[in-house]
Amino acid sequence: MFEGKNDKMNEIIDEMGDDHISGSAKNPLREDAFELSEQDKIELIRKDFSHILHTLGMDLTDDSLKGTPLRVAKMFVKEIFGGLNPERKPELSTFDNNYKYGEMLVEKNITVYSTCEHHLLPIVGKAHVAYISKGRVIGLSKMNRIVEYYAKRPQVQERLNMQIVQALQEALGTDDVACIIDAKHLCVNSRGVNDTASSTVTSEFGGRFKEDSIKRELLDYIQLDTKFE
């Protein structure tokens, strides 16, 4: 009954390939996304993943596998997709720019571990985040934490850029925020075309960072060789 529909859907998905289709800077969450507790979600995912492994022919009575469904469920809810829970969003405390620093501040080489929402495979790379103060500054570690929070979701890299920039713009009260991400997508590197050398670079520039001279300055900072021995 559903075979024809499923074949057509598979054709559409194959044609889309790895195209990054997203209509919003928000992750596509249902309205009832948070009605279940984390523990309820873990139990449901445990059962679902047990069924997946069973379907693949794995012996879940084996000592090496019998704990895998629960481990995966906990990892999904509390770790790699923990950023879906708004309660985990870091508090972005800001402070008066009492020392009147008026140049850009760049936090570069922030580690990104995310997950491609198309194949649920890792995205691994670096984010470079910058802002120009309009009276408020933020702790350096908060910039790392906001990258980590939005990365811990099924993601599209372009959306991740936008979410990081918008969160910092709101916290700092300025449009002058930018984010560049350079990352490897294992959905490209380890399957499909199997291109292990390629990486994906995306950016989001707000306010003054849209100006060519400011953008160029940011790119020059990112390329600085900051090695410490």
CA-CA distance, 162 to 181, in Å (whole number)?
Answer: 11
CA-CA distance, 164 to 14, in Å (whole number)?
Answer: 30
Helices (H) and strands (E) in the chain, counts: 7, 7
Active-site residues: which are they? 116-119, 157, 185, 187
CB under 8 Å to 133, separation ≥6 — which residues? 97, 101, 102, 105, 172, 174
Residues 115, 184: contact at Cβ < 8 Å? Answer: no
Q: Rounded to the nearest 10 degrees, what angle do helices 157-172 and 140-151 cross at?
A: 140
| CA distances, 130 to each of 9, 180, 206 (Å) | 42, 9, 10
Positions of E strands within the chain: 94-96, 104-116, 122-132, 136-138, 154-155, 177-185, 200-205
CA-CA distance, 28 to 206, in Å (whole number)?
Answer: 23
Q: Are strands 136-138 and 94-96 parallel, antiparallel or unpaired?
A: antiparallel
